Amino acid sequence: MKVAFQGETGAYSEEAVFALSPDSTPIPCTTFEQVFIAVRDATVDCGVIPIENSLHGSVHENYDLLQEFSLVISGEVQLRIRHHLLGLPGSSPDEIRQIYSHPQALGQCRSFLRTHFPEAELVPSYDTAGAAKMIAERGRLDAAAIASVRAADEYRLIVHAESIESNHNNYTRFLWLSLPETTAVRAVPAGSAPRQTEQAEQPGTGTTSGVKTSIVYAQHENVPGSLFKSLAVFALRDIDLLKIESRPLVGSPGKYLFYLDLGGSIEDESVKNALRHLEEVAASVKVLGSYLSGRQIN
């Protein structure tokens, strides 16, 4: 199975591809849009995109692409982002003069770098895996990269230091994208298969346990209580809300998009009724997919 992701080979998104489907062939893409295009045009079987990070928030660009393209979310995984200091085999930490990585990764490892490499020059790169690739290709014994353990494997680098990020609560949630005809059940990656046995009606709520549904909706106008009304459609049916985020529509003061994840499947009667009710009170509703709640990978 070919799975598109954004970034270089060895990127954290590629780790997410293997976490979701260990036997797949990851296909690197330069942009998120290219991932969506590859799935839409069926040049790949699926795509994997980051949708939110515990430190850096939601990736609005991918929410926009989810609305623009008619793909469905068919799975998810929460991946802990571990930054490692990588160097050439035979290199020594004492000889490191330059450290390459994405500015965000350099920032997340600032306290480690200040303590252990106060003299090293920190050089920003496009991405973490690209920094590792450069060290390997140029045979730079005097430089190191901050990247994933997968990048170390891919570019045959050694790990000078592990998990050097200051905040270990750094998780990225990745989504698995498919064409709409691929059903959620078919697209559930092999790694998550055991969870399928957990799919059962939750007592009392009438929603399928272990499954969530992501939607985006817009409101007509920002009147007091309108958000409350739109959430009532779920509360009245005992449907759990797992994520809510308002996003102001630039150029339309007082208008918002809402991102919502709710407990249950689009196939559940109560979820169907709630969404029908939501359509009465919202300006637009788009269902992005129903899928098994993702494992957290540490």
Contact of 270 with 205, CB cutoff 8 Å: yes
| Active-site residue, 30 included | no
Question: Whole-number minimum distance, CB 62 to a second copy, in Å?
Answer: 10
Residue 296: other Cβ atoms inside 10 A: 11
Please indicate whether residue 36 is annotated as part of the active site. no
> Catalytic: which of 18, 128, 172, 213?
172
Of residues 48 and 262, the one with the C-beta less far from a second copy: 262
As a whole number of angstroms, the longest Cα–Cα distance in the chain is: 66
| Residue number, 72 or 257, with CB nearest to a second copy | 257
Closer CB to a second copy, 21 or 148, in the complex: 148
Question: Which of residues 38 and 187 has its CB atom nearest to a second copy in the complex?
Answer: 38
**Contact call for residues 164 and 93 (beta carbons, < 8 A):** no
- Rounded to a whole number of angstroms, the minimum distance from the CB of residue 135 to a second copy is 15
**DSSP string computed for 92-107:** -GGG--EEEE-HHHHH
CB of 54 to a second copy, least distance (A): 5
Catalytic residue among 174, 208, 213, 234: 174
Using a 10 angstrom Cβ sphere, with 0-12 exposed, 13-18 middle and 19 or more buried, the burial of residue 269 is exposed
In the complex, the smallest distance separating the C-beta of residue 294 from a second copy, rounded to whole angstroms, is: 12
Under the rule (CB under 8 A), what is the footprint of a second copy? 31, 52, 54-61, 102-103, 106-107, 110, 122, 124-127, 169, 171, 205, 222-225, 227-228, 231-232, 234-235, 238-248, 250-251, 253, 263, 296
Minimum distance, C-beta of residue 58 to a second copy, in the bound complex (Å):
4
Q: What is the rounded CA–CA span in Å between residue 26 and residue 13?
A: 9
- Residue 139, Cβ neighbours under 10 Å: how many? 10
The Cα angle at residue 105 between residues 82 and 261, in degrees rounded to 5: 70
Side chain identity at residue 257, one-letter code:
L
How far apart CA 88 and CA 152 sit, in angstroms, is 9
Task: Choose between 139 and 248: whose C-beta lies nearer to a second copy.
Answer: 248
Which residues are designated catalytic? 172, 174
